[in-house]
Chains A and B, each alone.
Chain A
Amino acid sequence: MNDMDAVKRGAEAYEAGVEKSLARFPERKKDFVTGSKAPVARLYTPVDTAKIDYLRDVGFPGEYPFTRGVQNTMYRGRFWTMRQYAGFSTAEESNKRYKFLLEQGTTGLSVAFDLPTQIGYDSDHALSQGEVGKVGVAIDSLADMEILFDGIPLDKVSTSMTINAPASVLLAMYIAVAEKQGVGADKLNGTIQNDILKEYVARGTYIFPPEPSMRLITDIFAYCSKDVPNWNTISISGYHIREAGSTASQEVAFTIADGIAYVEAAVKAGLDVDDFAPRLSFFFNAHNDLFEEVAKFRAARRVWAKLMKERFGAKNPKSWMLRFHTQTGGSTLTAQQPDNNIVRVAIQTLAAVLGGTQSLHTNSKDEALALPTEDSVRIALRTQQIVAYESGAAETVDPLAGSYYVESLTERIQAEAESYIAKIDSLGGAVKAIEKGYVQQEIQDAAYAYQMDVESGERVVVGMNKFQIKEAAPKGLLKVDPIVGEQQAAKLKALRAKRDQAKVDAALAAVKAAAAGSDNLMPPILAAVKAYATLGEICDVMRGVFGEYQQKVIL
């Protein structure tokens, strides 16, 4: 046992000694800070972690409060799911990329949709011009979805879909494709992002106003709890909040505040918390400050577990667990000397793994320039495989636990996040705080401060504001053929000529009736999708009933 008083005296003596020698051996700078600009002390000792009660605050893996991870053996059982986010151009092209990724050893799919799909416009809509197939695959109807998953057995892979406002429609299409493969909805594994609140603050692919959007989300919770029991019905996302410029603590706080809003909405809609909470999942970022990021993941688990148990009275331990996907930080990548990004991604991968992620996407080195090529995607995947098989980080559970520094950081992030959550509660919850622009303003202030630090050189970004070289324009970037827009429009025209229009009209009328009433929207949406109503048509019907969200512009 440590004699805490003796350690304290020792630490004080150490600091006094250092202060004396500083005149002759000055430190590199006056203030040392984390990637999120939190102060970093010279040395951490048992004094800094003296208040931590191991059993209460840290505990054991697979046990409340899950600081050390949600499974009892973590990666000794199996590695995290290596899930590379991909999709571009047409369903045919993306299907090829998925098969390539599966051959290379990815263990789950992650679908990127283009912006028209994410905002519920068909490819031939005026606002879709120039955007079709650019940041993801264009999906207009079940016909495209059938091609997207052609030859991919949906009972064998798990699929994550980054889709939010029209999540109900894409989930319905996935269920319908599986049915055609002979796979029942109860056999499906995967995730829809379905997190509208962060779209309002950080990502921008909203359609409907908050109230009907929250209803769509709770309809999905209710439907899946019965019909698609293994589906992760939401991926409550801090990723985009961080990319928009937030700090690590804000990422945890705003994500969990959104999570609280979803839980409250579902409980208000009459669902029992333990019926849907085990299927809630999360999505975080991994930036470069290794220790701060690891602490962030550990703190997030602890904050959520406490909330679910104490505030919402959840009884099922699965309701307390914060399971999450991680993506490495896109905004940390530089367009300058892009090969350096491989190293950044490796550090971020280590952070995610040491933080106990359930699945991981690693960015490719060329993503500050364009969509990644096959070669750079392979390197990104290999980075995960090297960390998994060669680094040793996966051989024991939560290896950084007990580090005076990491435990202190975990405490600090928890405290900062809880203080933000209390502030958001006082504003009336996440929806109200977003409507007031509070969350957006906090993120923007942090983003601007970061930019100013980079410009002043206070924050070094290697290759960008220090150690620059003259370099030639990068070669061999991936380009999406602009013809994709015309191809999709032609496919749509053919589809509309071929399908049973009376059946489509009746199905759309049923969606409209459900939207205007209070019946669960999933069954009529599923019927409309099966009748080959398009995504745009279904969303238009809902736009007619729900109206559209008007962004609050904050500067």
Chain B
Amino acid sequence: MERKIRVLVAKPGLDGHDRGAKVIARALRDAGMEVIYTGLRQTPEQIVGAAIQEDVDVVAMSILSGAHNHLFPRVVDLLKEKGVDDVLVIGGGVIPDDDIPGLKAAGIAEVFTPGTPTSVTIDFIKQNLKRKA
């Protein structure tokens, strides 16, 4: 049997807006992926720990508080430090267009802003997995 794509949906930082994260989590699950949701207030260290422990293919983070420039790259760096280089890291939330090139340069594969249909995120994940599912 084919292995399902495993996704960690994570809420880094102190932000409590989790409507988007939960909708995405459910849409990915409905698209046949296995989804683990961290809940609120995760440090980058906790997120990376969970990603390794759960052996996920994708880390999908959501921030609406404006702390993305600080927290998203930190997760990518920590994954690298732990020798993990085959996990796709994506982000979403209220993120100004001006910040996106910097986030991509820091290793966030794609950033999804308000109004993005969940199908776009699902397709992106399927087409950009670093590991073969």
Counting residue pairs across A and B whose Cβ atoms lie within 8 Å, the total is 104
**Chain B CB within 8 A of A473 CB:** yes
Give 23 pairs: A residue, B residue, CB < 8 Å, sorted on A: A119-B14, A127-B43, A130-B67, A131-B14, A131-B70, A135-B66, A205-B16, A243-B19, A245-B23, A336-B115, A369-B94, A369-B96, A370-B96, A447-B22, A447-B23, A448-B22, A451-B118, A461-B115, A473-B97, A474-B97, A482-B69, A555-B26, A555-B29
Which residues of chain A are near B37, meaning CB under 8 Å?
553, 555
**Chain A CB within 8 A of B65 CB:** yes
With known contacts A134-B65, A134-B66, A368-B94, A127–B14 Cβ distance under 8 A: yes
CA distance A454 to B19 in the complex (A): 15
Name which residue of chain B comes closest to A473, CB basis: B97
With known contacts A134-B66, A455-B119, A553-B39, A115–B13 Cβ distance under 8 A: yes
Which residues of chain A are near B49, meaning CB under 8 Å?
none
Binding site for A on B (CB under 8 A): 13-19, 22-23, 25-27, 29, 35, 37-41, 43, 65-67, 69-71, 94, 96-98, 113-115, 117-119
CA distance A371 to B16 in the complex (A): 17
CA distance A322 to B16 in the complex (A): 27
The 6 closest A-B pairs by CB, nearest first: A204-B16, A130-B70, A130-B67, A473-B97, A115-B14, A134-B66
Q: B115–A464 contact, CB under 8 A?
A: yes
Which residues of chain A are near B114, meaning CB under 8 Å?
334-335, 368
Which residues of chain A are near B94, meaning CB under 8 Å?
368-370
Q: A115–B65 contact, CB under 8 A?
A: yes
CA distance A368 to B96 in the complex (A): 9
Q: B117–A455 contact, CB under 8 A?
A: yes
CA distance A115 to B22 in the complex (A): 20
Kindly provide the distance from the CB of B44 to the nearest chain A CB, expressed in whole angstroms: 10
**Contact residues of A: prevailing secondary structure:** loop
Name which residue of chain A comes closest to B99, CB basis: A479
Kindly provide the distance from the CB of A448 to the nearest chain B CB, expressed in whole angstroms: 5
Kindly provide the distance from the CB of B27 to the nearest chain A CB, expressed in whole angstroms: 7
CA distance A134 to B23 in the complex (A): 24
B67 partner, pick from A134, A205, A369, A553, beta carbons under 8 A: A134
With known contacts A127-B14, A130-B69, A455–B118 Cβ distance under 8 A: yes
Which residues of chain B are near A368, meaning CB under 8 Å?
94, 114-115
Most buried by A among B13, B18, B118: B18
Per-residue interface assignment for chain A, residues 326 to 360, with 1 indicating a CB less than 8 Å from any chain B CB and 0 otherwise: 00000100111000000000000000000000000
